[in-house]
Amino acid sequence: MLYGTPELEPADKAVLGEIEEMRRDLKYRLAEPHRWDGQLRRQLQARAIQGSNSIEGYVASVEDIESIMAGEEPLEASSAVTREIAGYQQALTYIRQLSQAQSFRYDIGLLHALNFMMIGHHQKKSPGTARPGGIYVRDSVTGEVVYEGPDAEHVPSLLDELVGWLNTGDLEVPSYVRAAMAHFNLVAIHPWRDGNGRMSRALQTLVLGRDRILSPEFCSIEEWLGLGENTVDYYRALREVQKGVWAPHGDMLPWVRFCLRAHHMQAQRVRRRLAEAGKVWTLLEEAVDGERLHARCVSALYQVFVSRRLRRSTYQADEALSQGQAARDLRELAARSWLTPYGETKGRFYAPGPRMKQVKARFAAESEPLKDPYQALLTR
């Protein structure tokens, strides 16, 4: 028996309606191709990977994650963290493909395969196979056991039930609610020795991707869950409903409400980034044109706007340039105070220069705070 899907209350339906409205708006905006789409998608995927892994203690910068995604050596992340990031990226890349597959069904083999992609480098943790014994989740600070998973002998049948539900259960329920329940049931079953949290968050993203909500990088809440206090709230929401042991019950609304709020807040962030991208790109185009620089330099400047640094190889790949062309462009931008170079040879990168810092500060000052959808409903 799995945890059951709850009935939504009027406030939840109102929040869900706002999420779907933002989704439609995003889908409309994404239907028209833009020069910045590729970089924005890459950033969102990197931030999702960063968020889900930081929850588990594997911390890396967005810039290092982008390097790992491109098959390059990161500048700061350790080899251990790099393996975790690369494994998770592989699983998310597969999820992107599955989201678009014409023929698809959930099955246990798929779940085990995704787990193997994530933690296959931990051979001692039996990646991709169900745990052989009991499992306990401990508080990372106190060491106290905060959750005990179901007995190992029940895991295969519970996974069977979950897969059956994913294929045919509650199909009339809004996708965001189904995805939240998929996340919760998988993390509560805790079927593997490691990677259960990341797998559950990835499954939530897959459910939304399969329901054609948006492409995975635009509908994932993994970035939001990995942000500071949000991670604390995430664990609190899980513990409030789990109550320490596997014991399916019907009081799942607090968990679903937590996920709806997270989707709303993340959708606000993504919508803001999309609107900001157009404004920033236009501003940078005007600056490049006014200084009689090659139009492709906008790509380099935009990348530095949205991140802390740019590597020559990234710009070279984005614009399909030779190494010499990319290096010359970046030297020119540095000479004009748009970029500031650091390091040498393979470790060289470009950070925002004085002029780019002014642009970033301007847009930061114009950003309005996000609005909590449930608080907004209470004040109406």
Judge whether residue 141 has pLDDT over 80.
no
The predicted structure's pLDDT at residue 378: 62
- Per-residue pLDDT tens digits for 76-127: 999 999 999 999 999 999 999 999 999 999 999 999 999 999 999 999 999 9
Please give the residue that has the higher pLDDT: either 189 or 368: 189
Q: What's the mean pLDDT in 122-148?
A: 91
Average pLDDT taken over every residue of the chain: 93
The predicted structure's pLDDT at residue 380: 57
What confidence category does residue 379 fall into, taking pLDDT thresholds of 50, 70 and 90? low
Q: What's the mean pLDDT in 221-227?
A: 95
Question: Rounded to whole angstroms, how far apart are CA atoms 305 and 295?
Answer: 16
- Per-residue pLDDT tens digits for 312-326: 999 999 999 999 999
CATH topology of domain 10-268: Fic-like fold (1.10.3290)
Question: Rounded to whole angstroms, how far apart are CA atoms 308 and 325?
Answer: 22
The predicted structure's pLDDT at residue 283: 95
The predicted structure's pLDDT at residue 86: 97
**pTM (predicted TM-score):** 0.93
Judge whether residue 35 has pLDDT over 60.
yes
The predicted structure's pLDDT at residue 140: 75
The predicted structure's pLDDT at residue 34: 85
- Per-residue pLDDT tens digits for 168-209: 999 999 999 999 999 999 999 999 999 999 999 999 999 999
- 358 CB neighbour count, 10 Å cutoff: 11
**CATH 1.10.10.10, the chain: domain bounds:** 291-366
Judge whether residue 362 has pLDDT over 70.
yes
Q: What's the mean pLDDT in 329-352?
A: 94
Judge whether residue 26 has pLDDT over 90.
no
Q: What's the mean pLDDT in 292-321?
A: 95
**CATH 1.10.3290.10, the chain: domain bounds:** 10-268
Output the CATH code of domain 291-366: 1.10.10.10
Closest CA to 239 of 156, 313, 147: 147
What confidence category does residue 266 fall into, taking pLDDT thresholds of 50, 70 and 90? very high
